[in-house]
Structures are given as structure tokens and as C-alpha cells.
Amino acid sequence: MRRYYPQFHLKRSWFGDKLSFSGSLTTKMGSSYKIRIALPEYFPNQIPSIEPVGWKARGPHIYASGNLCVMKSEQWRPFYSVAFMVTRTAIWLNKFDVYRFKNYWPGKGQAH
């Protein structure tokens, strides 16, 4: 993770039972977004959640919780890494910027 995304840092919850990575990504349009990738209890057998930090996502491909939907949970595989999820999130954020400024989501979408 440090090799590909040095701006992300591992954090442990107050009680030490939850792990997450936090950092910022900048889009091609120049927007900067802080995110947290929360690792579930059974990681890597469960998909991490992608949480906006200090901003609220609006539009398609967002769960009711406010977390970003960068892929369906059934598409997750245990060999995927946190760096893979950061990359997926970077792609999502670039599409989100297009949505914010041009009011359409580029590329093919998947039904939720």
C-alpha cells in the first residue's frame, strides 16, 4: 500500500479491533477527496467499505449509508488488496466529478 498510495495511512480504532486506511485522492478535474477504507472483521473475505470523510456524496452508485459503491460485494475476491480498492475509488471519484459538473455518470453502470 505504501508503495502505490503513500498518502494513505493505516489507523486502528480506539479499542484496537477495527482497522482502516485514510487518505486523499485528487481527480483529473483537480478536486480532492478524503476517504476512509474500513476493513471488515473478516477481511479479506469481505469487501471493505469506502467512506467519504468531510464531504457527502450525492448521486448514483452510493449506498444508503453514504458509502461509495465502487463494486458489488459479490464481485469481491479475497485476493484483492486495499490498494486495488483505492484504485477503484480513484476511478469512481473521477466519474463522480463528471457527474457533479455535467450531470451524467460516464461509462457503463451496474444495477444495485
Backbone φ and ψ of 49, nearest 5°:
-100, 145
Q: Which residue in 52, 40, 37 sits closest to 82, CA to CA?
A: 37
C-alpha count within 13 angstroms, C-beta hemisphere, residue 111: 0
Q: Among 26-40, 53-67, 97-111, which is the least confidently predicted range?
A: 97-111
Chain segment 5-55, per-residue pLDDT in tens:
999 999 988 776 789 999 999 999 999 999 999 999 999 999 999 999 999
Q: What is the largest CA-CA distance in the chain?
A: 43
Q: Among 23-32, 37-46, 59-68, 101-110, which is the least confidently predicted range?
A: 101-110
Question: Mean pLDDT of all residues in the chain?
Answer: 94
Report d(CA 31, CA 36) in Å as an integer: 17
